[in-house]
Amino acid sequence: MPDTLASSGPARLRDRLSGVDRELDWKASFAVGCAIAVVLSLAVGSWVVWTGRKAEDEKKRRTQRCLEADALCLRQLYGTNPPRANGAGEDWTGMKTLVGTAGKFEWELKDGWGNPLIYRRPGPVHPKGWDIWSCGPNGKDDQGTFDDILVGEDLPEGSK
């Protein structure tokens, strides 16, 4: 009998250990699968964020170019005496004041987000001059501050 017990003991032990190995293999495979899923999620998430930022940066660059083009038109057309616009009434953006008197220029009237550009003289940032600005990505008019994108300048003393 001792021979039978001795031979069955290691076999049982081997069976138990192989069960433990299978359980450890399953847990290790699950852990590796989870790690791969986390890495892929981070990679895809980073790509989505990078792509979104890239598109947002392009809208900002487009808006800056539009504002600079409008500022150039304003300087060429009016010099140091651009028209006054306070945003009252129907012309709340002030851009009709510029476009109505200067039809030969190609005015940009919308920013990269599709929102209207705003013109004021006196401007909120340049009270002795003029400002043209975009409300920026949030679409909220912050009077040329926060995320608004603004181009403007103070006029020389003696300007009307």
Closest by Cα among 142, 139, 57 to 131: 142
- 8 A C-beta contact, residue 95 and residue 116: yes
**Strand, coil or helix: 148:** coil
Going from the C-alpha of 122 to that of each of 142, 143, 146, 160, the distances in angstroms are 16, 12, 19, 11
- Is the pLDDT at 2 greater than 70? The verdict is no
* Band (145; pLDDT cuts 50, 70, 90): confident
Q: Is residue 154 within a helix (H) or strand (E), and if so which, with residue range?
A: strand 149-154
Backbone torsions φ then ψ of 79, nearest 5 degrees? 60, -120
Query: In angstroms, rounded to a whole number, what is the distance separating the alpha carbons of residues 145 and 77?
Result: 27
Q: What is the pLDDT of residue 133?
A: 94
* pLDDT, tens digit, 9 for 90 and up, residues 8-65: 666 666 666 566 556 667 777 788 888 888 888 888 877 777 777 888 889 999 999 9
What would the pLDDT profile of 95-136 be if each residue is shown by its tens digit? 888 776 655 566 778 899 999 999 999 999 999 999 999 999
SS3 content of the chain, % helix, strand, coil (to 5): 50, 10, 35
Dist. CA 122–CA 23, nearest whole Å = 76
